[in-house]
Structure 1
Amino acid sequence: MAVTGKRGVGIPTILLHDGEGTIVSIEMKTGETYRGLLDETEDNMNCVMKDAVRTDINGNTTQVEQVYLRGSQILFIVFPDIYPLQPHFYIFSRIGLLLQLLVALTFRVADSLVLLLLWLQSTLKHAPMFKRVKMWKKHKGAIPTLGQGGVGGGAPRGQAAAIIRKAQERRGGF
């Protein structure tokens, strides 16, 4: 896993690398699906699968010994069910750690999977990655653009405000 520059890799890339050696299903943008052993992955989502079954749009299947899949052509990847419990999804705060301890204790009690699912649902519901979805629902699909009463509301902020201010100064305004 090569990381260049100042950017790190995100959770999807980490999960992709963790999935090496497992049986996965990959759907391509063309509609083809591949199901087989995920042998090798790269940071740009390029994948090498072994002993895969290729299913085209018409449903015809072909056994493929080894196949290279270009990452930009991948639509989605289906991993085994063990991956929602990966530590990459945990929240590292005091409350998050207490909830994780509670979940670990409930795992030892029989038939307590419902509590775990409720906790996961409430934790993911407030995750920062869903802020855009909440804004989309709040504004019924017409999200105001940033810098013009967007997420924070009010006047332009940051770089947009600086550009507008400099343009007004050049015109003699202000």
Structure 2
Amino acid sequence: MTSTIGIPIKLLNEATLLEAEDNMNCQLRDITVTARDGRVSHLDQVYIRGSHVRYFIVPDMLRNAPMFRARNVRGRGVGLARGRATVNRARGQRGGPRG
């Protein structure tokens, strides 16, 4: 899969994405790098920390990929996620016993 990644100093064009993590750390190979002054260079492999990634441009074919389709979540309830402390505060009570 060929993609483009923008980082603060340079623009990586036509790289093959090997791996991408949840925090946007990514490994690339066969990279074409275009500097701000227009110089083009080629790299074999690169690892980019996710905090330095500004954007990804991926192929349009991923738009319809089944792995990115929303899943229907049923039978999970309302999802208020209230803990014991919130319920006790609503009743006017202090925190529960310790220990």
TM class by shorter chain equals 0.5 to 0.7
Per the alignment, residue 69 of structure 2 pairs with 89
Deviation at 1:29, TM superposition (A): 2.4
Change (3 A) 1:44 1:91: closer
More strand by share: 2
Map 1:17-166; keep pairs closer than 5 Å: 22-30=1-9, 32-35=10-13, 36-87=15-66, 88-90=68-70, 92=72
Q: Which runs of 5+ in 2 are unaligned?
A: 74-85, 90-99
CA distance in 2, matches of 1:60, 1:25: 16
Q: Where in structure 1 do 4 or more consecutive aligned residues deviate above 2 Å?
A: 86-93
The 3 A distance-change label for structure 1 pair 61 and 46 is same
When the two structures are superposed, what TM-score results if normalisation uses the length of structure 1? 0.38
Higher helix residue share: 1
- Normalized against structure 2, the TM-score is what? 0.63
Residue 40 of structure 1, CA deviation: 1.9
**Cα-Cα RMSD:** 2.2
Q: In percent, how many aligned pairs have the same letter?
A: 29
Give per-residue Cα distances to partners, 1:69-127, cap 9 Å, x unaligned. Answer: 1110101001111111123234638xxxxxxxxxxxxxxxxxxxxxxxxxxxxxxxxxx
